[in-house]
Amino acid sequence: MNNDLLSGLQFAFNLTKHENTILSIKNVEDGGFTFPIEFPIEFPCNRVYWLDITGLDIKFKYKNQYENYLKFLSNKRIINTVAQIEKLIFNMVKEL
């Protein structure tokens, strides 16, 4: 999985050279803060996701990276990916 995740990230990095964005910001109603005031006011939060690029026309030599992007990144929260990368780096450093 570690190499596959890194492969997907490599595809995302390379894609940023050709596309304007690979991120999607969504306004989520089920999070944020609620203050019980006379009229309860809810502040929804924004979450940042990797863009779903299913069906993107790619060169065959990038097929594996593209599939890893779809498997490990597409439509997933970026914060969760960062946590996975942090664990991966920690384990790599531990092995040195």
Q: What is the pTM of this model?
A: 0.70
List the beta bridge partners of residue 46: 27
Answer whether 50's CB lies under 8 Å from 24's CB. yes
Which residue range(s) make up the domain with 69? 2-94
Give strand ranges (E) for 1-96: 23-35, 41-50
How many independent structural domains does the chain possess? Answer: 1
- pLDDT tens digits, 6-65: 889 888 888 888 776 777 877 776 655 666 666 776 667 788 999 999 998 888 899 999
The band of 96, judged by pLDDT with boundaries at 50, 70 and 90, is confident
